[in-house]
Amino acid sequence: MKVSQAGPRSRRVLDQSLLVLGATTLAAGLGAMTLAPGTSAASSHREAPLIAGDPRADNTDVYAFTSPDKSDTVTMVANWIPMEEPNGGPNFYAFGDDLRYNIKVDNTGDGVSDVTYTWRFRSSYRDSANQFLYNTGPVTSLNDPDLNFRQVYDLVVTTGGKSRTILSGVPAAPSRTGKASMPNYTALRNQATLGLPGGGKTYAGQAEDPFFADLRVFDLLYGGNLSERGQDTLAGYNVNTIAIQVPKKQLALGGNTSRNPVVGVWSTTEREGVTVSDSRDKGHQREWKQVSRLGNPLVNEVVVPLKYKDAFNTLNPSQDRTVQPVVDKVYDPILPKLIQQVYGVPAPATPRNDLAEIYLTGICKACGPIKADLNAHRLNKDANPKRIVPAEELRLNMAVPPTAQPKRLGVLAGDLAGFPNGRRLADDVIDISLQAVEGAAQTGVLVPALADGDRVDTNEVPFGATFPYVALPHTKNVNRGPNAPERSAEQSSADTSPAGPVGTSAAALGGAGALLLGAGAVRLRRRAKNG
């Protein structure tokens, strides 16, 4: 490989100069030749960082489900800061003071949030002389003097253009700095779980990352295959969680859950913008800019190509349909074509109106080929159909009651309370998404070649039975150096459990029609289809 422009002539000169220099500069004991042709670093060129990591702003996952133990409420969980290594001291993991964390709810289907919950955090040190210390001894309560770094937040609800601060200056749970320094994290979490005026509760703080997946499944997109699976890529890591549980009627259009049971949910992160040129009117660009957004899981892996991730992150769902390449890819995704190339599983015919239903409109008989009335905004009787637009949101029909024995494959297994009808913590969204992208939601037949999915079927730790449901943060490092292989062994043994009765799940799809739900029959039926 030829890097420099220097030809043979200049190379000779260079060699000579190096020989000459060898005597003086290397003898002088300093690396003069760190600078060679083609490189320099200088005070005159301001080389600011270019790809700034922004983990505090990065949404990792959003969940929305009817609370299993409190079925008149919906719980929404959104996570930030991916891949938190336990014991990530000395600074650990704080929410950003310069960010607005939002969970948004659209009950009319126009892609615009009708109910927005906004968390804003403020950090402080109890003992500002000790700013490098997170805690100075074991922390047994949120008021413990040993807890040096603290975050409090305000929670604002915006409806109909009006904002109300419903919590002010309340504490977030700290990062769990270890078993010795935070022996009873449950107690800290309980203190940070706060009731809301008008009903409901919220929690902000650290949690085990509830997402479980072997992301190598998507190696297909990058020229790989499915030969390496079965290891939970996220196992052992923590995230920062914001959870909220609210009465369903606070989310439903017109407060009427029986007429309008469907909501679309997504989370966003915003940071204030900048007016760069002072010749323009000042303040014009200082509005808040959306830097991250998430609704359905794996949207970049399954439908929106990575190339459009930047665009997608800046858009409001109401604008999704204006970016044609993104919409096009929902109707014509690349993943099934790759699966066809590698595994010979025929890619479903395009346009993929079934995927458009799952990701853009919600599922209803009138919406597309999936013969069920499940979670489209069109099912809301008071929603104006003319204002409903295709928009990527995680849609939940709140009228579907929680399932006593939830199935990890959710709707595909006949369990209508799971993804893509909302998303529960234990829903196996990788396997569901892989099947959906192969057309299983439309055909009612699971693709046997992909029945194993990622071979990770459950989270590495169980979830809680009560709010906020997420598991307590891990305390052991994931990347433990020499111990890492040992850990993988542990993991693979845990994850090689049988994949579950996939075949019967497929059959259950046909039988799902038997499930009758409140207002209307929500049914999935195999669609008559040639070939």
Partner 1 sequence: MQQNTTAAPPAPTAAATPAPPAQPPPRRGRVRPAGAAVALALGAALFAVGAVALTPDGATTAGPQAPAAAPGSLGALQARVTRLPKDAAGWAALGMAYVQQGRTTADPATYARAEQALRTSLAVQRADNTDAEIGMGALAAARHDFPTALDWALKATAGDPYSATAHGVLADAYTQSGRYDEAEAAVQTMTDLRPDAASLARASYAYELRGDTAGARDLMRRSLTAAATPGESAFARTVLASLALQDGDGRGALAEAQSGLRAAPRDPALLEARARAREALGEPGPALADYRAAAAVAPLPHLLLGLGELHQALGHPQEAEAQYTLLRAQDRIRATGTTPADTDAILFEADHGSPERAVTMAEEALRTRPFIAVQDAFAWALHRAGRDTEALEQADRALSLGTRNALYHYHRAAIHDALGHPRQARDDLAAALRQPGFHPLHAPAARALLQRIDTTG
Q: Which of residues 419-448 bind partner 1 (CB under 8 A)?
A: none
Site track 339-378 with partner 1 (rule: CB under 8 A), x = hit: ---xxxx---------------------------------
Tokens of 299: 């949207």
> Please, which residue, 268 or 380, has the CB nearer to partner 1?
268
50 lies in the site for partner 1, by CB under 8 A:
yes
Burial letters for 112-132: b for 16+ Cβ neighbours within 10 Å, e otherwise?
bbbbbbbbbbeeeebeeeeee
Which range of residues in 110-118, 155-163, 274-282, 414-422 is near partner 1 by CB under 8 A?
Answer: 274-282
In terms of CB distance, is 239 or 265 closer to partner 1? Answer: 239
Cβ-based nearer residue to partner 1, 31 or 161: 31
345 in the Ramachandran plot: left (φ > 0), alpha (ψ -120 to 50) or beta? beta
Q: Torsion angle of alpha carbons 59, 63, 69, 70, nearest 10°?
A: 90
Q: How far is the CB of 40 from partner 1 (least distance, A)?
A: 5
As measured in angstroms, the least distance from the Cβ of 514 to partner 1 is 33
By CB under 8 A, tell whether 281 contacts partner 1: no
Look at phi and psi of residue 496 and say left if phi exceeds 0, alpha if psi is from -120 to 50, else beta.
alpha
Given 40, 128, 405, 530, the residue binding partner 1 (CB under 8 A): 40
Tokens of 117: 């919950």
- The residue count of the chain comes to 531
- Applying CB under 8 A, among 68, 306, 459, 529 the residue interacting with partner 1 is 306
Task: Work out how close the CB of 287 gets to partner 1 at its nearest, in angstroms, rounded to a whole number.
Answer: 10
CA distance 189 to 470: 11
Would you count residue 38 as binding partner 1 (CB under 8 A)? yes
Site for partner 1 in 172-211 (CB under 8 A): none
484 binds partner 1 (CB under 8 A): yes
d(CA 107, CA 117): 14
The token pair that represents 152 in the structure block: 């409090």
Binding residue for partner 1, selected from 133, 152, 291, 494, defined by CB under 8 A: 291
Chain center to CA of 52: 19
Contact residue for partner 1 among 122, 164, 179, 307 (CB under 8 A): 307
Residue number with CB closer to partner 1 (485 or 498): 485
Q: Is 278 in the site for partner 1 (CB under 8 A)?
A: yes
In the complex, least distance from residue 418 CB atom to partner 1, rounded to whole angstroms: 28
152 binds partner 1 (CB under 8 A): no
For residues 445 to 464, the per-residue mask of contacts with partner 1, x marking binding by CB under 8 A and - elsewhere, is ----x---------------
Q: What is the maximum alpha-carbon separation in the chain?
A: 89
Shortest distance, position 215 Cβ to partner 1, whole Å = 10
Residue 305 or 510 having the CB closest to partner 1 = 305
Which run of H or E residues covers position 492?
A: helix 484-495
Closest among 339, 340, 366, 335 to 352, alpha carbons compared: 335
Residue type, 139: V
Residue 121 near residue 168, CB atoms below 8 Å = no
43 binds partner 1 (CB under 8 A): yes
Q: Work out the burial of residue 388: count CB atoms within 10 Å of its CB; fewer than 13 is exposed, 13-18 middle, 19 or more buried.
A: buried
Minimum CB distance to partner 1 smaller for 144 or for 154: 154
State how far the alpha carbon of 458 is from the alpha carbons of 175, 430, 494, in Å. Answer: 24, 11, 10
Q: Is 129 near partner 1 (CB under 8 A)? A: no
